[in-house]
Structure 1
Amino acid sequence: MKKLAITLSVAAASLLSVGGALMVPTAAQAQRGVFVEVPPPPPRHERIPPPRRGYVWAPGHYEWRGGRHVWIRGMYVRARPGYAYRPPEWRERDGRWEYRRGEWDRDRDGVPNRYDRRPNNPNRY
């Protein structure tokens, strides 16, 4: 009986160690941007509706979904006082295209707050 308990505990420990090696990345480990080899098509022309108080226009853009570029229509997003909205963009880097989603920037320096050493620097703007 004691030998069976030891065998089961060793088996369970080895399963746990294998399970740790096979872990799938979680959202916390997600990449900062999407990199693809295919450049996005030219932006589409879209009619911007009249301004809405308390909202900011987020222009239409292409996202990479299902192995291809998909157009996402522009829309109004609720404004955040003290922040500037940076729309999504595609940038070419080393022959590949990087997609960065739209973000809010507190000090309007162009660096997203989560990557900015001093996101509330009073000497900027």
Structure 2
Amino acid sequence: MRLITMRPSFRPWLAGAALSALALTGCVVAPVGQPYYSDPYSNVPDTQAYAPVYAPIAPPAPYVETVPVAPYPGALWIGGYWNWTGHRHAWVPGRYERPRPGYHWEPRRWDRGPRGWQQHGGGWRR
């Protein structure tokens, strides 16, 4: 019986391939954010005013979101938006909600004003 032995020039290549494969096991590809689902009837009533949100800098361009398949018939996609955290803009991903009879969704928007950039909207309106 004859044993097959590796040539000495083949061993560094094999070691390099093994190290590369080991290094790639730590790589993970993950989406930016997963949409979440909420109940619109648990939202803050329209009569309660939201505190104004001001930012010293303009929000970045909106992300182009991939809209997932609706979880149920009639689900309404609410697109994501840039929110101000007090120090920087942070992306809030879109989500599905149940439509509210007699209401429409007003998306958030940013307008420039005398105090900087102000966030408006983002709720169910009659």
User: For the superposition of Structure 1 and Structure 2, which TM-score range results when normalised by the shorter chain?
Assistant: 0.5 to 0.7
Aligned to 1:112: none
Cα shift at 1:95: 6.2
In our comparison, the structure showing a higher alpha carbon Rg is 2
Which residue, out of 13, 27, 36, partners 2:55? 36
Relative contact order (alpha carbons < 8 A, sep ≥ 6): 1 or 2 greater?
Answer: 2
Instruction: Return the TM-score normalized by structure 2.
Output: 0.54
Q: Deviations over 1:73-119 (max 9, x none)?
A: 1111121011110111111113610012411111xxxxxxxxxxxxx
Aligned to 1:24: none
Question: For residues 104-123 of structure 1, what are the structure 2 equivalents within 5 Å?
Answer: 104-106=124-126
Q: Deviations over 1:33-76 (max 9, x none)?
A: 20111110011111112344232111011101141100011111
SS in 2 for 1:80: coil
* Letter of the structure 2 residue corresponding to residue 35 of structure 1: Y
Q: Distance in 1 between matches of 2:85 and 2:104?
A: 27
* Letter of the structure 2 residue corresponding to residue 67 of structure 1: H
Alignment CA distance shift 1:98-1:66 (3 Å): closer
**Off by >3 Å, runs of 4+ in structure 1:** none
Which residue, out of 38, 41, 47, partners 2:66? 47
1:57 has 2:91 as partner: no
- Larger relative helix fraction: 1
Which residue, out of 66, 86, 93, partners 1:73? 93
- Which ranges of structure 2 fall in alignment gaps of 5 or more residues? 1-48
Aligned to 2:107: 87
Aligned residue-pair number: 78
- Which ranges of structure 1 fall in alignment gaps of 5 or more residues? 1-29, 107-125
Q: Distance in 2 between matches of 1:41 and 1:33?
A: 19
User: Is the contact made by 1:61 and 1:73 (CA closer than 8 Å) also made in structure 2?
Assistant: yes
Q: Distance in 2 between matches of 1:97 and 1:74?
A: 22
SS in 2 for 1:57: strand
Q: Distance in 2 between matches of 1:104 and 1:48?
A: 20
